[in-house]
Structure 1
């Protein structure tokens, strides 16, 4: 069994795992999230197109967990889950993204 809890759909990449494992308190916060909560953070990080954005999102993941948040702020949710249809907000965000 892995010592790093994963999401429901996504698996954390090495850079995210390294950042979270760097602090035992942060790792405990991560392990205490629900699988869906972890999945949302992983998806948010993976959605970054540029390395700088990805690094910023990894730092923000840690900050948000330390602030008590259980999912990323201002994220419409993982569009990769197949257990429920996308919400209207997810559909609108996807349409905006496709228009770029």
Structure 2
């Protein structure tokens, strides 16, 4: 699925907070569009797995930072159980 021309994952829709942050950071957006749908799925699931809103906010910020630093998947994440 694509939200506002921002591609999502395989089984996860793109949440508004992730979409908003990606559209505000061109380097992260460029890498996001270049990674595979499975990799995007992993990032989305990792963010959505947060139990507290503060943790989720930190994960969204880290997603952008990690993408800008060349990471293509979340570190230390066992993987999305939903695929």
Give the TM-score of the pair, scaled to structure 1.
Answer: 0.77
2:75 counterpart SS class: coil
Query: 5+ residue gaps in structure 1?
Result: 82-100
RMSD: 1.2
Which stretches of structure 1, 4 residues or longer, exceed 2 Å deviation after superposition? none
Q: What is the distance in 2 between the residues matched to 1:13 and 1:6?
A: 9
> Quick one: which of 2, 5, 16 aligns to 2:18?
16
Query: 5+ residue gaps in structure 2?
Result: none
1:25-64 equivalence runs, <5 A: 25-64=27-66
Rg larger for:
1
Give the TM-score of the pair, scaled to structure 2.
Answer: 0.91
Deviation at 1:37, TM superposition (A): 0.5
Report the number of matched residues.
Answer: 81
